Structure 1
Amino acid sequence: MTKTNPGRFFEDYHVGQVIRHAVPRTISGGERALYHALYPARHALHSSDAFALACGLDRAPLDDLITFHTVFGKTVPDVSLNAVANLGYAEGRWLHPVYPGDTLTARSEVIGLKQNSNGKSGVVWVRTTGSNQHGRDVLSYVRWVMVRKRDADAPAPDTVIPDLAGVVKAEDLIIPAGLNFATYDFDLAGEPHRWGDYEVGEVIDHVDGVTLEEAEHMMATRLWQNTAKVHFDATNREDGRRLIYGGHVISLARALSFNGLANAQVIVGLNGGAHANPCFAGDTVRAWTEVLDKADTGAPGVGAIRLRLVATKGAAGALKTEDGKYLPEVLLDLDYWALMPV
């Protein structure tokens, strides 16, 4: 009898199913150091205890995407080990800061299923929640994944497609307790641009680019304990190439956005996202951002700004063809809310 885990296939899921994911993960300052080594991340609130203290927090929280990657990585063996593709995100909210020493666990509920017309795969929607050692939820988001079937002749389940919000409402964003940008130090943050300086519809070219290395993306994917086969085993793709973990592209683009958005300090909402085209080692990634919306918050000196972050191998501002399809050079289209001094 085999003791190894082949992962779940499409027919192994049912709506309402709740999966508790292994393995709990205690996050240390080492994860922050590796994150900042892998990506050009340098937002001040996540880099300096003193800066965070001056902004009303007890110390510097871990980068918000460290929380995302850690929770996401927990789900991979149960949700996407046999995935063809990770298709999208919705209704993401960061609920509580994560600090060095916190232990994160994750659970997912299956909220939707739809078999593909070819009968060989189907789409699974899950709502994933990450919690800390005190049982406090720190992150919640929905994602949907195309998963292979074990048996093409297995009967198709009833189709259930969840009704998901296109945008997290600004009033539903969770502002970290105590956050205060009233005496924000723009010199130490790195740029003078505040919330009022950005206009809806503005497009920001972040200028810089990074050429991806095979070793770096594999180290990053291991760091988040993401076990998806396509990121490690070149025989899992017909072209014999390892696919770059989409979260690696997210973090790289977010870090590149510092040049122009250095004061977008905290990610609080994930409205939607698509990994538009595959990314491979050797690709040079650049980023640009479109300002989609702005909103007031109840926190002193803190405004919310909705941003469309695009990672691309092409030019800033270029996104889709006339028929609405992503251009082949576009890698990521991410819609998120961030907090910024007003």
Structure 2
Amino acid sequence: MAEKTHAGRFFEDYSVGDEIVHAVPRTVTEGDRAVYTALYPTRFALYSSDAFARKSGLLRSPIEDVAAFHVVFGKTVPDISLNAVANLGYAEGRFLLPVYPGDTLTATSEVIGLRETSNGKSGVVWVRSTGLNQRGETVLSYCRWVMVRKRDEGAPAPAVVVPDLAASVAATDLVVPAGLDFADYDFALAGERWRWGDYEIGEQIDHVDRVTIEEAEHMLATRLWQNTAKVHFDKTARDGGQRLIYGGHIISLARALSFNGLANAQMIAAINAGAHANPCFAGDTVGAWSEILDKADTTNPGIGALRVRLVATRSGAAPFELRGDDGKYRPEVLLDLDLWVLIPK
């Protein structure tokens, strides 16, 4: 009898150059926006109000950039990280087109690197993933690397290929959505008066607010994106019997918490780099802080770009402390994310 089920790919199933078309297109709806808002304390005006978005030159309010990222990421999981030990990091992420309710997203990935880990039980897989809409237009792309279990620990290691990824997306390569215009921006409705010129390179911002993660909420969020990774749902899939919080859940929490201090950072233009520094579990209370790394002009009216380090931490962490004396991430640091965001000038 032919085998009809699929246990997912293991490390030895990948080859550099593999092109993977991921299954199950996903049409984004207003329901996704509603559930996203219920899950995270997000309040960015551009994603909350059609009227605000139209005044800013868009067709209507798009879904949040991170939500679009989650949809595309979720498509890739059955082929890339179903048997993952951990998702390790991101680079070269670019948001190229807004995603609106009614758009249908699909995803493809290319394997761009492989390296077996020193214990021979797993390996790191690097992929470049692309999200497309129903017109075949690329809405976002990013690289990520993930540690994947081996099916057979005795399987020979592949040739090591580690891709040379850019340290950051150049400001000149940022894509500002067509028509986006903050020349007549309403700061009162947006919630804060701070604009591009009010932020200084090196400035640090404690976003103050905190959220305790519940088991049911993180599993609901992960299912929303059709992310099927076993470690998020099956407590027997990890040593210790705890479900691992999907790293994207922490990204969304941190981004939502950053509203308090960065309310006018309306759109994410790029993910320069990112690392899930330590695992997170239900019951953890998450806070966030940011550091302004750089500033840049754009060619669109009234719009500037800020490069922001967004850090999510576990409760009890002192703000602005990232690494210990040994150079490693402090144990209370959950996420270290380097972003370009668009903000009114």
1:332 aligns with 2:329: no
2:208 aligned with 1:218: no
Tell me what 2:183 maps to.
182
Shift of residue 323, structure 1, vs aligned partner: 1.6
Which letter maps to 1:334? L
Q: Residue 307 of structure 1: SS of its match in structure 2?
A: strand
| Alpha-carbon separation, structure 2, partners of 1:255 and 1:248 | 11
Q: Distance in 2 between matches of 1:109 and 1:10?
A: 15
3-state secondary structure, aligned to 1:192: coil
1:118 deviates by 1.3
- The 5 A counterparts of 1:108-147 are 108-147=109-148
Q: Distance in 1 between matches of 2:118 and 2:278?
A: 22
The share of aligned pairs that are identical, in percent, is 73
For 1:278 and 1:119, the matched residues in 2 are separated by: 22
- 1:72 alignment partner in structure 2: 73
Rounded to whole Å, the distance in 2 between the matches of 1:157 and 1:312 is 36
CA distance in 1, matches of 2:243, 2:11: 23
User: Can you list the C-alpha shifts for 1:190-232, whole angstroms capped at 9, x where unaligned?
Assistant: 0000000000000000000001100100000000000000000
2:323 corresponds to: 320
Deviation of the 1:2 alpha carbon: 2.3
User: 2:120 and 2:95 mapped to 1: Cα distance?
Assistant: 36
* TM-aligned CA deviation for residue 316 of structure 1: 1.1
Q: In structure 2, how many angstroms separate the alpha carbons of the residues matched to 1:154 and 1:116? A: 13
Counterpart amino acid of residue 334 in structure 2: L
In the TM superposition, residue 170 of structure 1 has moved relative to its aligned partner by: 0.3
Partner of residue 27, structure 1: 28
Structure-1 separation of matches of 2:211 and 2:121: 37
- Kindly report which structure 2 residues correspond to 1:185-204, keeping only aligned pairs within 5 A, or say none: 185-204=186-205
Which letter maps to 1:330?
V
Partner residue in 1 for 2:6: 5
Q: 1:325 aligns to what SS in structure 2?
A: coil
**Aligned amino acid, residue 289 of structure 1:** S
Letter in 2 for 1:98: V
For residues 285-309 of structure 1, the C-alpha deviation after alignment (integer angstroms, 9 at most, x for no partner) is: 0000000000000000000000000
Q: How many residues align?
A: 342
Deviation, 1:120, is: 1.2
Pairwise CA distance, 1:238: 1.5
Counterpart for residue 253 of structure 1: 254
Deviation at 1:111, TM superposition (A): 0.4
Q: Distance in 2 between matches of 1:259 and 1:51?
A: 19
Superposition RMSD in Å: 0.6
Inter-partner Cα distance in structure 2 for 1:288 and 1:22: 36
AA partner of residue 114 (structure 2): L
Name the CA distance, whole Å, in 2 between partners of 1:74 and 1:174.
24
TM-score, normalization by structure 2: 0.98
Task: Show the counterpart of 2:245.
Answer: 244
Residue in structure 1 matched with residue 88 of structure 2 by the alignment: 87
Distance 1:268 1:91 in 2: 11
Give, as a single letter, the amino acid of the residue that structure 2 aligns with 1:266.
Answer: M
Partner of 1:287: 288
Counterpart of 1:208 in 2: which secondary structure?
coil
Residue 102 of structure 2: aligned partner? 101
What's the CA shift string for 1:2-42, capped at 9, x where partnerless? 21110000110001100000110000000000000000011
Distance, in Å, in 2 between the alignment partners of 1:35 and 1:84 is 26
Partner of 1:296: 297
The structural deviation recorded for 1:152 is 1.1
Amino acid at match of 2:225: W
Counterparts of 1:4 and 1:17, CA distance in 2: 22
Report the Cα distance in structure 1 between the residues aligned to 2:245 and 2:27, rounded to whole angstroms.
25
Give, in angstroms, the shift of residue 84 of structure 1. Answer: 0.7
